[in-house]
Amino acid sequence: MLTVIGEALVDVVRGSTGTAAHVGGSPLNVAVGLARLDHPVQFLGRYGQDEYGDAIASHLKDASVMVPLPPDGLPSSVATATLDDSGAASYEFELLWQLPGLVERLPTLLQGSTLLHTGSIATVLEPGAADVLAAVEFAHPGVTISFDPNCRPSLTTDPDAVRAQVERLVALSDIVKASDEDLAWLYPGADVRDSARRWLTLGGSEAPAVVVVTRGAEGPWAVAAAGEVEVAAPRVDVVDTVGAGDSFMAALLSGVVDAGYDGVLNRERLRRIGLEPLRSLLGGAARAAAVTVSRAGANPPSRKELAERA
């Protein structure tokens, strides 16, 4: 079982061709991406008993994602994405994030999980962020932890506070993925690769095994104990970039699980990952992101679609 914890919301996308609504939220997108790649996955998040909440619940059900937490009585969260001429998205948020009672249920909810993924707004917006950190601390080091900060400067405007929280989670994680934009915002003026290399040292003996940096059209780059590797981004006609990083993350984790690197017994094996296996993981993740940007909204590929791009 794989577990994803974080926000669910509806993306209202405004572009030159009009406005459309899509279910989203970075962690939810990762959960759906993992399910479409044929992994059993549960999603721990919140949404309301309203029209948007019904859409979120249906989206998760259609993807065969398990949802052990029921909807609550608060409004579902909304992100308004405005696309520029290149298809890149900027966001504004109406977001409620809290998970009352989560910590007490963690022993049951995480039983049997070999991997826990979290990230984005859920890790920095209170009061829910404290519960997310508690969940990661509870799970570590018994399961593989993955983290994607997916920073949202329009919502979390204090980079110092976000940086401190991000570094706490990096130090608890085995696999970290960040965009070059995330790292540039968190560490202004620093080379993004140097920042990623430093993350590989956070946490001492429990430091991350792999840190991946996505760089849009330049393709992803990663650093591990064995060294550094990068792959080219597939050439594709871009419709929009909504959910591209989440598809990349899901496919990266799918590759980790398929290769048997997840779970506490495989932690040291993941730390010893070689450059060619790491290159293969990056290539599969980049292909997944390419499929997603070629169509509207956060719409990650199935395992069959991804295999066709190999």
Domains of the chain: 2-302 (3.40.1190.20)
Pair 203, 169: CB distance under 8 Å: no
Q: So what's the pLDDT on residue 20?
A: 80
| DSSP E strands, the chain | 2-5, 9-15, 18-24, 41-44, 77-83, 89-94, 115-119, 144-148, 175-179, 210-214, 221-224, 227-230
Q: Are strands 210-214 and 2-5 parallel, antiparallel or unpaired?
A: unpaired
Rounded average pLDDT over 137-161: 91
pLDDT digits (tens, 9 = 90+) for 188-200: 999 999 999 999 9
Bond before 127 cis per omega within 30 degrees: yes
DSSP state, 106? H
Rounded average pLDDT over 246-268: 92
Of residues 21, 16, 18, the one with CA closest to residue 297: 21
Inform me whether the pLDDT recorded for 28 exceeds 90. Answer: yes
Pair 79, 92: CB distance under 8 Å: yes
Q: Which of 81-85, 141-145, 244-248, 282-286 has the lowest mean pLDDT?
A: 81-85
pTM of the model: 0.93
Q: So what's the pLDDT on residue 237?
A: 85
Q: Which helix (H) or strand (E) holds 47?
A: none
pLDDT averaged over the chain?
92
Pair 91, 26: CB distance under 8 Å: no
Q: So what's the pLDDT on residue 202?
A: 95
Name the pLDDT band for 102 (thresholds 50, 70, 90): very high
Of residues 112, 187, 188, 176, the one with CA closest to residue 150: 176
In the chain, pLDDT over 90 holds for what percent of residues? 73
Name the pLDDT band for 284 (thresholds 50, 70, 90): very high
In the chain, pLDDT over 70 holds for what percent of residues? 99
Residue 121 CA to residue 39 CA, distance in Å, equals 24
Which neighbouring-strand residues pair with 147? Answer: 118, 176
Name the pLDDT band for 204 (thresholds 50, 70, 90): confident
Angle between the N-to-C axes of helices 159-172 and 128-139, in degrees from 0 to 180, rounded to the nearest 10: 20
Which neighbouring-strand residues pair with 219? Answer: none
Task: Tell me the two tokens of residue 9.
Answer: 């919301």
Q: Which of 125-129, 209-213, 254-258, 264-268 has the lowest mean pLDDT?
A: 264-268
Inform me whether the pLDDT recorded for 305 exceeds 80. Answer: yes
Cβ count near 135 (within 10 Å): 23
Q: So what's the pLDDT on residue 71?
A: 95
Pair 196, 223: CB distance under 8 Å: yes
Give the 3-state secondary structure of residue 187.
coil
